[in-house]
A and B are shown apart, each in its own frame.
Chain A
Amino acid sequence: MSGGLLLQAVVSGLLLGGVYGLVACGLSLIFGVLRIINFAHGAVMMLAMYATYWLFVLAGVDPYLSVVLTAPLFFVLGVIIEKVVIEPNRFAAEHNQLLLTLGLALFFENLALVLWQGDFRTVKVGYSGASFMLGEALVEVPRLVASGGAVLMAAALFAFLRLTDVGKALRALAEEPEGAALVGINVARIRAASFGLGSACVAVAGALITPFFYVAPDVAESFNIMAFVVVVLGGMGNFVGALAGGFIVGLAESLGAAFLPGSLKLLVVFAIFILVLLFRPQGLFGGSRER
C-alpha cells in the first residue's frame, strides 16, 4: 500500500467521522435522558435528507441554508414523537421501548418508500464536485464542509448543554433522574426536549451530507447501525465520546475500505462494535451509567 492511498483513507475517514459523530451525538443525547436506544434515529435522518432534497428541488433552497428550516422542523417532530409515542410508554419494559422505536423506524422508512419509491436521488449543487489536493490526498469540499459543520454543530450543542438552563436541566436529568424532579425540573418537558434536540442534530447531519450522498429510504438503516456502533464505542450517553467515536468509526471504515474489497469494510466496523459491547460495554470513554 502506498503512502498516498493511506493518507487518502485517513482523510476520507476523518471527513466521514464528523458526520457520524454528529448523528451519534443526537442518539447519545436521547439515550442519556430517556434511556432508550432509539432505533428510529436513522429514519429521522433519512426524512431530514428528503426534506433537504425537496426544499432544493421545489424551492431551490441551498442544502446548507435549508438547515435553518429543517433543524427547527425536526426539533418539533422529535418533540411530537416523544410526547405521542414515547412518553405514554415511559414505564413500559425496556425491550418494549426498544420495539416501540423499531416500529417507528419501520413506519418512517417505509413511508418514504411508499411516497418516493426506492430510487436514489441526488442534489446537484454548484460545489458538489469541488475539491482540492492536500499533499497526495483529494479533499472534496462538500465532505469537508459536512464534517466541519458537524463538529461545529456538536460544539454548539455542547455549549448549550453546559451554559443554558435547559441544557443544565437536561444534563441533570441524564445524571440524576430522581434528583432532577426534586429540584423542580419539569421532567416531561426536558424529556421531550432531548428527543427534539437529538432529532435536530441528526437532521442537520442529514442536510450536511445531501450535496454528496444519495437520498433514499435505505439510508436510514445504514446510518442507524453506524450510529449504534459509534455510541457504544463512545459510551452510551457520553457526548464527547460520541464525537470521538464518530472519528474512530469513520477511520475504521475508510481504512477497512482501503485494505478490504467490496463492502467487507463493514466487517471491521461490526467487529469493533461486538468487541466493545462484550469487553467494554461502558464504551472506550466511559458511559453515563453502567449496563
Chain B
Amino acid sequence: MGGALAVAALIALPPLMSKYHLEILISVLFWAYLGIAWNVLGGYAGQFSFGHAAFFGIGAYTSTLLLLRAGLTPWIGMALGGALAAAFGLFEGYLSFRYGLKGPYFSLVTLAFAEMLRVIAVNTKAVGSSLGLVVPTAPSAPGLFIFSGKLPYYYIILAMGVLALALTWKIGRSRLGFSLAAVRENEDAAETAGVDALATKLRAMALSSFLTALGGTFYAQYFAYIDPTITFGPSVSIGALLPAIVGGAGTVLGPVLGSFVLTPLSELTRYALRGRAGADIMLYGAILVLVISFLPQGIMGVVRERRARAGRS
C-alpha cells in the first residue's frame, strides 16, 4: 500500500519538478539502483565486493564502444555489456570462491580486479585511454538511448530500479534467496543442508555484475561521457556499497532507503560548500563510520527492531 503510493508519486511528480530537483532525483535512483545490484552479492550472499566498478565499467565501455564504433544501439549494447560483465564476474568469483577467499581477502581481490581494468583502460588507445569517450547527446534518438531533456532518463532509471527491486524481492522469497542467506550465515551448515555454496555464490556474482553493468550503460548515456577513473575507479565501488550498507545490507528496501538519505545529503553538502571538492565524500566517510558504530544493521535494522518490539508488546 505504502509502496504503491510511493511508486505512484515517483511516476506522477517529476514532470512538475525543476530541472535541478529532477537531477537530484535521478541521482538518488541511480545510486539506489547500483546499491540494489551490489546488495545481491554483498547483502544477500554476504560477499563484500569492493570492486563493483569493474562490472560498471565493463557495461559502460561495452555499450559505448559498440555505439561509437559500430553504431549499435545501447539498448542492445547494454545487454551485451551485462553479459560480458556477468562472464567477468563469474571468472572473478570462480577464482576467488574456488580458492576459498573470504571476508576481507575477497574484498581485496575484487578491488584489485577493478584496478587492473582501470589501468588497462587508461593505457589502451582503442578505448580512448585516459581521455575517455564522449557519447553523442544530439539529435534526440530514443532508438539509440539518446534523449533531449532529463525526464526520459528519469523514467528509465526508475523502471530499472523498480525491476531490480522486484527481482531481489522475488529472489528473497525463492529457493535461491534462502540458499544465499544460508551461505551468508554459515557455509558449512549450508552445505550439509544441501546448498551448493559455490554455485550459489556464483549465481549471486553473475546477477549482481549483470545488473551493475546495466547501470554503467545508463551512466554513459545520461552523462554522455566516461573515462577510466569515473567508471573503473574506487568511487563507483564505494558508491554502490554505501547505500546498501547505510540502508541495511541484505534487505530489499535497504539500498533505496540508503540512497534517499545519502544522495540528497551529499547534494546539500556540495551546495553548502560550493567549490570545495571532496566535501560530500568526506561526509560519506563520516556517515559510514557513524552508521557502522551506531546502526550496524543499517536503517532497516532499526525498522525491524521497532517492528519486533511492537509485535511483542
Contacts and interface: CB of A to CB of B under 8 A. Distances in A.
Q: How large is the interface on B (under 10, 10 to 19, 20 to 34, 35 or more residues)?
A: 35 or more
A117 B288 contact: no
Given A89-B292, A263-B122, A277 B101 contact: yes
Contact of B48 (A95, A113, A221): A95
14 contacts: A99-B241, A100-B289, A106-B281, A108-B285, A110-B281, A114-B273, A118-B277, A228-B111, A262-B122, A267-B119, A270-B112, A271-B116, A274-B95, A291-B102
Contacts of A94: 103-104
Interface in B77-117: 95-96, 99-105, 107-109, 111-113, 115-116
B95 A100 contact: no
Contacts of B103: 94-95, 98
A274 B113 contact: yes
Pairs of residues from A and B, 7 with the lowest C-beta to C-beta distance, nearest first: A106-B285, A113-B278, A103-B288, A107-B285, A110-B282, A110-B278, A103-B289
Interface residues of A, number: 49
B186 interface: no
A41 B50 CA distance: 17
A interface majority secondary structure: helix
Nearest to A93: B296
A278 B95 contact: yes
B309 interface: no
A103 B108 contact: no
Interface in B278-297: 278-279, 281-282, 284-289, 292-293, 296
Given A88-B293, A263-B123, A114 B277 contact: yes
Most buried by A among B96, B111, B245, B288: B288
Give the interface centre of B109, B273, B281, B292 by most chain A CB atoms within 10 Å: B292
Interface in A85-129: 85, 88-89, 92-100, 102-114, 117-118
A110 B273 CA distance: 13
B138 to A, nearest CB: 32
A142 interface: no
A37 interface: yes
| B-side interface mostly | helix
B276 interface: yes
Contact of A114 (B48, B112, B234, B282): B282
Given A102-B288, A110-B285, 6 more contacts: A98-B103, A107-B282, A110-B282, A113-B276, A114-B278, A114-B282
Nearest to B290: A103
B120 interface: yes
A278 B101 contact: yes
A264 interface: yes
Nearest to A229: B112
Interface string A214-230: 00010001000100110
B238 interface: yes
A85 B293 contact: yes
A109 B279 CA distance: 10
A106 B282 contact: yes
A274 B105 CA distance: 10
A98 to B, nearest CB: 5
Contacts of A96: 292, 296
A264 to B, nearest CB: 5
A195 B107 CA distance: 22
